[in-house]
């Protein structure tokens, strides 16, 4: 269906308007244009000037408004063809267009045509629009897929080979590092641990590196959990209940460099129900909870385990406090185990001698 009137309107503050108007059914007819400001008649003029092409039927107009457009209020200027009453041009001038927040402007946009491609389009154009949107979406998905597949292949070649067990005696919880490189380095340090005992490994991903979501694809034997921004005590408690190992070992975020070893290899078996590795952050947290806490064993090998506790004791103590995280959560659990009379072995990174508490 052909539109009754076609045209455009431009406004130059404070008082000039210009544009063109065309009656498609009568391309040689000169239309009479009425200019409205905020819905009120302002002036009437004859669209007499020709467009760029004398034969295109566009009749131009240019005029100076009798009253300048000013004031703090939002103003609406419209151009209407008098004979048909059709408004063919509209300009909205926002008084606060500079200070208006961009979020407010975006919220005012009508995005429904983008959400429903083709709706409202002429029947002859709708298939082309739908094909175009569908093709664009498919191309974007294909490109993203190629990038992620390439990244996964690169990371797969760098990932360590861990001897993980389906029937583990020990469950290890490893926090992700700020970068994927750091996370893979932490997993590589687990090789000595996994060879010494039947082990399963949980990776606790806080989303700092988006490539963390590729870990289940490149290391399918890992158990993976993702919680953006932080790994809460509630999540750790749920994972601990889902763990299969009798012993739960939580790797320290500030674990020392070098080979990692199980902390109880050089300790009496009856003293391994609760083992604390006092790195800088855990040492400070424990001092805040219990100032009289002292190291309790001799360290002979460097290791990265911040806390090791029997799964049964972990459940008996009520697990981590959901309100706490990191070293504070470890310190709180150690205090609860101590109140239950659970033997505790602690040592510092640089300590040479210590005693049992």
Q: What is the pLDDT of residues 26-41, one digit of tens each?
A: 878 888 899 988 888 8
Same domain, 138 and 84: no
Q: Are 59 and 51 in contact (CB under 8 A)?
A: yes
In a domain, 46, yes or no: yes
- Please return the burial class of 137, using the count of CB atoms within 10 Å of its CB with bins 0-12, 13-18 and 19+: exposed
| Structure tokens that stand for 77 in this block | 């200027």
Q: Once rounded to an integer, what is the mean pLDDT over residues 184-203? A: 87
| Structure tokens that stand for 249 in this block | 């070992």
Same domain, 226 and 149: no
Same domain, 91 and 127: no
Identify the three-state secondary structure at position 128: helix
Q: Is the pLDDT of residue 208 over 60?
A: yes
In a domain, 263, yes or no: yes
What's the mean pLDDT when you consider all of the chain? 75
CA atoms of 47 and 33, how far apart (whole Å): 6
Same domain, 153 and 297: no
In a domain, 1, yes or no: no
In a domain, 353, yes or no: no
Residues 206, 189, 355: CA angle, nearest 5 degrees: 95
Same domain, 63 and 150: no
Cis peptide before 14, with omega less than 30 degrees from 0?
A: yes
CA atoms of 129 and 42, how far apart (whole Å): 40
In a domain, 356, yes or no: no
Same domain, 99 and 241: no
Same domain, 344 and 236: yes
Distances (CA, A) of 177 to 183, 185, 318: 5, 9, 27
Same domain, 83 and 181: no
| Residue 144, phi-psi category: left (phi > 0), alpha (psi -120 to 50), beta (remainder) | alpha
Of 109, 124, 140, the one marking the end of a domain is 109
Same domain, 203 and 342: yes
pLDDT grade, residue 201 (50/70/90)? very high
Q: Is the pLDDT of residue 95 over 70?
A: no
Mean pLDDT is lowest, of 30-44, 230-244, 304-318, 332-346, for 332-346
CA atoms of 216 and 199, how far apart (whole Å): 17
Name the residue range of residue 257's domain: 161-348
Of 73, 89, 109, the one marking the end of a domain is 109
Same domain, 37 and 166: no
In a domain, 355, yes or no: no
Same domain, 14 and 135: no
In a domain, 336, yes or no: yes
| Structure tokens that stand for 133 in this block | 């949107």
Q: Is the pLDDT of residue 88 over 80?
A: yes
Q: Is the pLDDT of residue 45 over 60?
A: yes
Same domain, 309 and 240: yes
Identify the three-state secondary structure at position 59: strand
| Structure tokens that stand for 61 in this block | 């107009």
Q: What is the pLDDT of residues 273-287, one digit of tens each?
A: 677 777 667 777 777
Q: Give the predicted TM-score (pTM) of the model.
A: 0.57
In a domain, 357, yes or no: no
Looking at residue 167, which CATH number applies to its domain? 3.90.550.10
Domain total in the chain = 3
Give the torsion through C-alpha atoms of 97, 101, 104, 108, to 10 deg.
30
Of 69, 87, 109, the one marking the end of a domain is 109
């Amino acid at each position: 269906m052909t539109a009754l009137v076609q045209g455009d309107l431009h406004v130059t503050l404070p008082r000039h308007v210009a544009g063109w108007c065309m009656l498609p059914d009568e391309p040689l007819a000169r239309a009479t244009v009425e200019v409205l400001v905020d819905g009120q008649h302002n002036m009437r003029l004859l669209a007499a000037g020709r467009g760029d092409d004398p034969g295109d039927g566009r009749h131009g107009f240019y005029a100076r408004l009798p009253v300048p457009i000013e004031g703090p209020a939002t103003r609406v200027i419209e151009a209407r063809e008098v004979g048909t009453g059709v408004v063919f041009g509209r300009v909205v001038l926002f008084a606060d267009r500079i200070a208006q927040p961009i979020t407010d402007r975006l919220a005012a946009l009508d995005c429904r045509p983008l959400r429903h491609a083709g709706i409202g389009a002429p029947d002859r154009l709708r298939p082309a629009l739908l094909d175009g949107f569908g093709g664009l979406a498919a191309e974007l998905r294909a490109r993203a897929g190629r990038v992620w597949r390439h990244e996964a292949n690169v990371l797969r070649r760098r990932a360590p080979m861990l001897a993980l067990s389906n029937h583990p005696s020990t469950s290890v919880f490893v926090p992700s590092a700020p970068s994927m490189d750091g996370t893979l380095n932490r997993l590589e340090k687990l090789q000595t641990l996994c060879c010494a005992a039947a082990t399963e490994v949980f990776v606790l991903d806080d989303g700092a590196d988006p490539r963390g979501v590729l870990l289940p694809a490149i290391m399918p034997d890992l158990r993976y959990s993702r919680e953006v921004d932080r790994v809460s005590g509630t999540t750790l408690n749920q994972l601990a209940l889902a763990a299969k190992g009798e012993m739960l070992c939580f790797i320290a975020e500030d674990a020392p460099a070098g080979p990692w070893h199980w902390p109880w290899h050089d300790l009496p078996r009856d003293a391994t129900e609760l083992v604390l590795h006092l790195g800088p952050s855990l040492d400070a947290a424990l001092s805040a909870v219990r100032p009289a806490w002292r190291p309790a064993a001799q360290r002979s090998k460097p290791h990265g385990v911040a806390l090791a506790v029997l799964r049964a004791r972990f459940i008996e103590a009520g697990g981590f406090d959901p309100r706490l995280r990191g070293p504070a959560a470890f310190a709180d659990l150690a205090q609860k185990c101590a109140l239950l009379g659970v033997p505790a072995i602690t040592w510092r990174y640089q300590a040479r001698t210590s005693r049992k508490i």
